[in-house]
Chains A and B, each alone.
Chain A
Amino acid sequence: MESKFYEKDKLLVFRIADEIDDFSVQKIRRRADYEIERYMPKKVIFDFNSVTFMDSAGIGLIIGRYKFAKMLGGTVELANLTSSVKKIFEMSGLLRLIPVTNLEVS
């Protein structure tokens, strides 16, 4: 997973490039929380463009980061959802809580 912090906008972007399951999510969660705490972003965007697989562990990952970022005064948005990722998020009702945004793939 790559991350980039944009100081001017207080925006933190995570580009997840792994398969997201119960195993890989542990590493992603630790890294994301560490950086959210470090930068205290106004907005966190998770970019799913390079996610090749996701199961329900992804739902817990995003809800957990949403709560954590919110506690520190930030919001969470999702970008570049693949159809299978979107299907799983829709099923959980998470997209009623967390907006999907446009983010260019770089």
Chain B
Amino acid sequence: MESKIENEMRLEFISKSANEAFARIAVAAFASQLDPTIEELADIKTAVSEAVTNCIIHGYDKKQGIVKIFARLKENEIILEISDKGKGIENIDIAKEPLYTTKPNLERSGMGFTIMESFMDNVDIESVVGLGTKVTMSKVIKSKKENEESDDEFEMITKE
């Protein structure tokens, strides 16, 4: 059975670092429809913050551009696409390595992709040099509802 899309939202803003807080709070507010735990919500906010920071600092560097976020809720999963039309990544495998950064002078730690990968279930990066970068990431929310359901299952088993 094909699962239906339950909700979607799109967000566009200019590449100012002042917008990072706005972006992660907006996505967190949208994600709260899935009834996540505080920890799950913090994970999503952090991953969004990392992806948006990458668009602003690396994608557009000092130039101004548009950062786009497309968020979908599908059953108990949130799927996020965060993209820029900036300079792109030459070698994604190297960019993903922990502690790798092209901007050590800005005290960037090179942990952005590592954090996204450990806080989300799936992270996929598409990039074309000169055209931009799109990060797609998703996370299943193990909601309270699911916990209740597994409790029910447990009850059924014990009854049998």
A-side residues, CB < 8 A to B, are 19, 21-25, 29, 53-57, 59-61, 63-64, 83-84, 88, 91-92
The range of chain B's interface size is 20 to 34
Residues of chain B within 8 A of A57, CB atoms compared: 53, 109
The stretch from B38-46, B65-73, B150-158 touching chain A is: B38-46
User: Which of B99, B112, B115 is most buried by chain A, counting CB atoms within 10 A of its CB?
Assistant: B115
Say yes or no: A59 contacts B17, CB within 8 Å.
no
In the complex with contacts A55-B53, A91-B118, A21-B21 CB distance below 8 A: yes
B-side residues, CB < 8 A to A, are 17-18, 20-21, 24, 39, 42, 45-46, 49-50, 53, 56-57, 98-99, 106-109, 111-112, 114-115, 118
Say yes or no: B109 contacts A53, CB within 8 Å.
no
In the complex formed, the residue of B with least CB distance to A61 is B107
Question: Other CB < 8 Å A-B pairs besides A56-B50, A59-B109, 18 of them?
Answer: A21-B20, A22-B57, A23-B17, A25-B107, A29-B107, A53-B49, A55-B46, A56-B53, A56-B111, A56-B112, A63-B109, A64-B107, A84-B46, A88-B111, A88-B115, A91-B114, A91-B115, A92-B99
Q: CA A54 – CA B21 in complex, angstroms?
A: 11
In the complex formed, the residue of B with least CB distance to A65 is B107
How far does the Cβ of A92 sit from chain B's closest Cβ, in whole Å? 5
How far does the Cβ of B155 sit from chain A's closest Cβ, in whole Å? 31
Residues of chain B within 8 A of A84, CB atoms compared: 39, 42, 46
Say yes or no: B18 contacts A23, CB within 8 Å.
yes
